[in-house]
Amino acid sequence: MLLVVCGFVACNKDRAGSMDVSGSCRVEKFVLNDKYEGAIDIPNKQIKVKVPVDFNTKNDMVVTSMQIPAEAQSNVNVGDHLNMEADKDLFVKSGDIVMNYHLFVRNDEAKLNNFVLEGIKGAIDEDAKTVTVSVLATSGIDLTSATFELTCSEDATSFPSSGSTGDFSDPNNPFQITLTDNTAISTYTIIIDLIQRPTAVFAGSAPNMDALGDEEKAAAKFLTSNIPGSAYLSWDDIASSEGILDECKFIFFHRHGIDYPNYESFEGGEPKAIAALPVLNEYWKRGGAFVLQREAVNLAVALGAMPMTGCPNNVFNGSGEGGATMGDDPWTLPVFDKNHALWQGLKVNPNNPEAIYTLDKDYTISNTCVQFHWDGISGDALYQKFDEVTGGKARRLTGHENEISSWELKNFNGEFGKGGIICLGAGLLDWYSPTEYVPVYHDNMGMILLNAYHYLTGE
């Protein structure tokens, strides 16, 4: 028998040929234990049954009511005892049409999954129902009127709602968020921890994060939204605030939109970063790590991690933020060693599982690249050339057969790994799209940065 999975309320006879499609395969009502009625989602072919937060007998539930067309048949019927600890398939057959519903039972749940205050991610203690947000004392954030965003359990609602503004300034009267899902109610207390010294930093020339360009701001907000204790610091903050990096283990510097074809142009174009070099050198000597992206990779030369002659020789600024827009099969990132820590845990395209994706359909990329390229040199000869130029202090991460677009540098003590430097010059490592898209594989950008953080800090 030919089975057709039907996602419609009625079936289209005009395209059915000799098949019997006269019936309907719609579930009108579904009830368990006389009182738990399912929410039926026909387009998505789902039946969700909600039970109280403390309901603990899902292993034996009884189908007490089920309405399907009189001519239809089902593999689940009134009076059946179901173990709903696991989801089930519920089939309804009418004529030659079969609809497969995904049947599942969920307890009411009011759980906070993520909380971000003015771009800073909070640390959630589920047992204590608290959220601790580490705010740099010199950040300039107005805690009397700060905006927050949150995500919570699928069916829960929050009060106040995500996107609201509140007063987080009084530790004696802390701000609270209440989540509700029928019988589940949870109240979380927001604790503000004013920190003097961050543990991870996004550094830039702008006086604050909001003054960054779109590409750099997107990268900075990911860092501060995903690594507790992180903050944005300007180069002026780093140069002038004594001890500001004393507890820092990780600095992310992403410079976008300016071409630096050699070290001299970088030195002239980034005077504030150069002014902070004494502090940065001390930080690096004691084991601090860096991720340097695009034009920021030249900071590695300033630190002495690469020779003065070791700057990338193939630099182009792409098309601003209005470059190529991805189609159904976005560009993929060519990597030299898929076993490297940076590429672990990424989302994989099942149609091309060997490739690494960082872009999605409709994503518009600037395609800015900062890389090494030598015509006529590839394979082992390419790596030998790269080794000569970088003084033997680097290994390849991404690139095509005659170019190297991302690389890893040794730490101050001459070892790869903790306290080292990751340089990301590949154009496909991009944070901001001016066009709307549905994020799937672009989430890999964040995972790559978090992988770099864990790899370089050992945490």
Residues belonging to the chain? 459
State the chain's mean pLDDT as an integer: 91
Chain position carrying tokens 């190297």: 404
Helix-helix angle 214-226:443-457, to 10 degrees: 60
Q: Strand 332-333 relative to strand 356-357: parallel, antiparallel, unpaired?
A: antiparallel
Task: Report the pLDDT value the prediction gives residue 262, as an integer from 0 to 100.
Answer: 86
Chain position carrying tokens 């507790």: 228
Q: At 236, which helix (H) or strand (E)?
A: helix 235-240
Q: Nearest 5°: phi and psi at 92? A: -125, 125
pLDDT digits (tens, 9 = 90+) for 401-440: 889 999 999 999 999 999 999 999 999 999 999 999 999 9
Q: What percent of the chain has pLDDT over 90?
A: 74
pLDDT digits (tens, 9 = 90+) for 322-365: 678 999 999 999 998 999 999 999 999 999 999 999 999 999 99
With 80 as the cut, is the pLDDT of residue 10 above it? no
Instruction: Give the Cβ contact number of residue 381 at 10 Å.
Output: 12
Q: Do 114 and 19 contact (CB within 8 A), yes or no?
A: no
Predicted TM-score (pTM) above 0.85: no
Task: Report the pLDDT value the prediction gives residue 324, as an integer from 0 to 100.
Answer: 87
Task: For residue 310, name the pLDDT band (cuts at 50, 70, 90).
Answer: confident
Q: What's the rounded Cα separation, in Å, for the pair 42 and 116?
A: 35
Q: What's the rounded Cα separation, in Å, for the pair 394 and 387?
A: 7
Q: What's the rounded Cα separation, in Å, for the pair 406 and 423?
A: 5
Q: Do 416 and 410 contact (CB within 8 A), yes or no?
A: yes
Eight-state DSSP code of residue 9: S
User: Does the bond joining 353 to the residue before it have cis omega, within 30 degrees of 0?
Assistant: no
